[in-house]
Amino acid sequence: MEGHLSKHWNKGRAFLGVRYPLISGAMTWISDSRLVRTVGEAGAFGVLAAGNMPVEDLEAEVRALKSAGPALPFAVNLITIAPNYQAHLKKLVAMGVPFIVFAGSFPRKGEVQAAKASGAKVMCFASTESIASRMIDYGTDALILEGSEAGGHIGHVSTMVLIQEVLFRFDQVPVFVAGGVATGRMIAHLLLMGAAGVQMGTLFAMSEECRAHPAFKERFRRARSREAMATPEYDSSLPVVSVRAIKNRGTDDFGRLQLDLLQKIKAGEISRVEAQFQVEKYWVGALRRAVEDGDVDQGSLMAGQCVGLIDEVRPVRVIVEELVREAEETLAKLGQGL
C-alpha cells in the first residue's frame, strides 16, 4: 500500500526512524507519554509536550517512553519561554532522549549544540526564511515549517506562503510541514512539493487515546474552520504571541486581560515582563480547564483551522491508516495523469 509513498517520503522516514513520517505535534496537557507511545506503535512519530511541568514529572514521562526501547523513536518538545525551560533542557541532555524539538520561541545556538552533544537529533520551527537560515546555521537537524493555520501559539505567515518561502528554498535538512494539514490527500501534495513529512496536532487531539475531556473533543467535532481564530495584539507595549483557538468566552476574557494589563503597564503598576508572564499564565490555566475539566466555555480550545475538516473521534491506528491509504491513492491517481 506504500508503493508510491516510499519514493517520496524516504527522507523523512530515515530521519525519524519510523514507518510513516507523520508527526503528532506536541500539545500541552494533551501529548502525554500514553499518546506518544500509541502514535509510535501505529508507525508514526509522537512528540511529548514538556510544557512547564515539574522536572520530576518530565523525567517520569521520558522514562515511561524509554522503557519501550529504541524501537519507539520519540521527541520531547521544549517551550523556550517556559520558566522551567533551562531545567527541562538540562534533564533531557542528561537522560539522552533521541529527539529534542525547540518551540515557543527560538533557541540559542549554545542550546542547540548542547542538545546535539547529548546525541539527540534537533528539530526547530521556522516561521520565516531568515529564521530557517538561522536555525540551520545553529545546527538544527531538521525544520518544522508551521503556518498560521495551526492551533496554539502561532506565527503570522500562512503555510501556503511558507512553502514557497522556505520549503522551496532550503534542502540542506529535512523539512516537515505543519499548519492546516488533516488529510492524506494534502499529505500527498506536500510530499510532491518536497516535504519530508508532515506534523499534525488537531487531528490527533481528536483521537480516542487522547486524554482530553469528552466535552473538549465534542466541541472540536462540531467546530467550523472559521471558528478557530487567532488572538490580536492590541499594543506594541505588550508583545504577545498570537494564539489560535475556537472562539468562546475564554478568548473574550483574554482580550479584556490584555487591555487591563496595558493600562497597568502605562500606569507603571506592572512591568512588561510581568505582564507577559500573566499572559502565558492565563493560557496555561485556561487550556488545562478545557482539556482536563471540559470547560469549553471559558477554557482555552486551542485548535488549528483544520478543525472544520474533522468530525469524528477515532483510534490513533485508524487515523494513521486512513492518512496513509488516502495519500497513496492520491499519488497513484496523480501518477496516472502524468
- Local confidence pLDDT in tens for the 338 residues of the chain: 567 888 899 999 999 999 999 999 999 999 999 999 999 999 999 999 998 899 999 999 999 999 988 889 999 999 998 889 999 999 999 999 999 999 988 899 999 999 999 999 999 999 889 999 999 999 999 999 999 999 998 988 999 999 999 999 999 999 999 999 999 999 999 999 999 999 999 999 999 999 999 999 999 999 999 999 999 888 888 888 888 999 999 999 999 999 999 999 999 999 988 888 888 888 888 999 999 999 999 999 999 999 999 999 999 999 999 999 999 999 999 886 44
Is residue 216 a part of any domain in this protein?
Answer: no
Is residue 218 a part of any domain in this protein?
Answer: no
Q: What are the phi and psi torsion angles at 288 (to 5°)?
A: -65, -40
Residues 6+ apart with CB under 8 A from 250: 286, 290, 297, 298, 299, 300, 301
- Amino acid symbol at 286: A
Q: Are 168 and 20 contained in the same domain? A: yes
Residues 6+ apart with CB under 8 A from 190: 163, 177, 181, 198
Q: Are 19 and 77 contained in the same domain? A: yes
Q: Are 152 and 233 contained in the same domain? A: no
| The predicted structure's pLDDT at residue 35 | 97
Looking at the 3D structure of the chain, how many domains does it have? Answer: 2
Task: Describe the strand order of the beta sheet including 243-246 as a list of residue ranges.
Answer: 152-153, 243-246, 228-230
Give the residue carrying C-alpha cell 506503535: 41
Q: Are 17 and 87 contained in the same domain? A: yes
Q: Which of 184, 148, 188 is nearest to 165 (CA)?
A: 148
Which residues of 111-213 form beta strands (DSSP E)? 121-125, 142-146, 152-153, 175-178, 197-200
**Residue 103, strand partner residues:** 79
Q: Are 76 and 126 contained in the same domain? A: yes
Is residue 30 a part of any domain in this protein?
Answer: yes
Q: Give me the helix-helix angle, 3-16 and 316-336, nearest 10°.
A: 130
Is residue 219 a part of any domain in this protein?
Answer: no
Q: Are 206 and 242 contained in the same domain? A: no
Domain around 260: 224-302
Is residue 21 a part of any domain in this protein?
Answer: yes
* C-alpha gyration radius of the chain: 19
Burial 60-76 (b: 16+ CB within 10 A, else e): ebbeebbeeeeebbbbb
Q: Are 276 and 317 contained in the same domain? A: no
Dihedral, 38, 30, 189, 45 alpha carbons, nearest 10: -40
Q: How far is CA 187 from CA 7, 24, 244, 289, 324, in A?
A: 14, 14, 22, 32, 9
Q: Are 184 and 238 contained in the same domain? A: no
CATH of the domain at 20: 3.20.20.70
Q: What are the phi and psi torsion angles at 311 (to 5°)?
A: -125, 15
Q: Are 31 and 172 contained in the same domain? A: yes
- Amino acid symbol at 111: E
Element (H, E) at 102: strand 99-103
Q: Are 318 and 295 contained in the same domain? A: no
Q: Are 235 and 252 contained in the same domain? A: yes
Q: The pTM is what?
A: 0.93
| The predicted structure's pLDDT at residue 276 | 83
Q: Are 101 and 157 contained in the same domain? A: yes
Is residue 8 a part of any domain in this protein?
Answer: yes
